Amino acid sequence: MARFLVTGGAGYIGSHVVLALLDDGHDVVVLDNLRTGHRAAVPPAATFILGDIGDSACLDRVLSRGPWDGVLHFAALSLVGESMLHPMQYMQVNAGYGYGLIDACIRHGVQRFVFSSTANLFDAAPTALIDEDTPLSPGSPYGESKLMVERALYWADRIHGLKSACLRYFNAAGADPAGRAGEDHRPETHLIPLVIDAALGRRPALTLFGDDYPTPDGTCVRDYVHVSDLARAHLAVLPLLNERSVVFNIGTGLGNSNREIITAVQRASGLDVPWVAGPRRLGDPARLVASPARLHAATGWTPAFTSIDAIVETAFLWRKAHPQGYGD
């Protein structure tokens, strides 16, 4: 059994990674300020600490309770649109506080660090499948702040020997198949839960931003990876960090358009989804699909959820059972 600190472990992806670590028999401590996370998302088997990674004294108190077999870092501001309005806030919280966490890990002898990065590093990729060699071009201050942490981790390894995994997520989706956790953002900005809520009559008709893209049906294409598959990828990379630092893109290699998401929700729910076409949003690329080949070659990881219907079904069942999210 290993012992891990998970920052932001009360959030959507973080809570699913906590479940995966617990299911694997590990001891987990969650540090979260609950600004966007939910206390109810933290499993009872995990130790919860209310605190902020921007508080250096808090970090020292927590990390001094070692030894730790690794830190998994999810705590961040994560709204692309909000980052366009408040870029310096995103730089301060995501990059600045991230630097402080990395420095604290070095001081307290942490050897392994897993970082929640983003596909927003690839604003308009020139290739059909985006691999780790695709040129980086952050699409927002949010993406830029994540890249700044990746660069800090490079130097933390080179100078201090802190081994890290920078995992660049594409579109996390779905919910724990056992119903233990799901997606509850406030405000909700992700497409699948918005489509589900439109089907359930919990929101007005959905607006699809752009129906004239150079894609088969005119709407944006994205790579949706089930959140539990994403969580398993975090466990899969940990053994690699005993020897080296790594960077991986995490997706399925498959893409689904916005209209295909609507039809998948209709199949899962048996309900119609009211929607209208709207103008394009500034900065939305037509297609973002990952190549997971390098991650598979290094770890053997492959997604268990390979169809959008399977992903959407878990999201629908959780959201239908929890109309108020974790407020239930």
Q: What is the rounded CA–CA span in Å between residue 276 and residue 293?
A: 36
Burial 114-123 (b: 16+ CB within 10 A, else e): bbbbbbbbbb
In three-state secondary structure terms, 188 is coil
Instruction: Note whether 275 and 198 are within 8 A (CB).
Output: yes
Fill in the amino acid letter for 107.
Answer: R
Instruction: Note whether 158 and 299 are within 8 A (CB).
Output: no
Catalytic annotation, pick one of 12, 142, 169, 224? 142
Nearest to 117 by CA among 303, 248, 291: 248
Per the annotation, the verdict on 326 as an active-site residue is: no
Instruction: Note whether 77 and 93 are within 8 A (CB).
Output: yes
Instruction: Note whether 46 and 28 are within 8 A (CB).
Output: yes
111's CB contacts (< 8 A; 6+ apart) are: 69, 70, 161, 162, 163, 241
**Residues tagged active-site:** 142
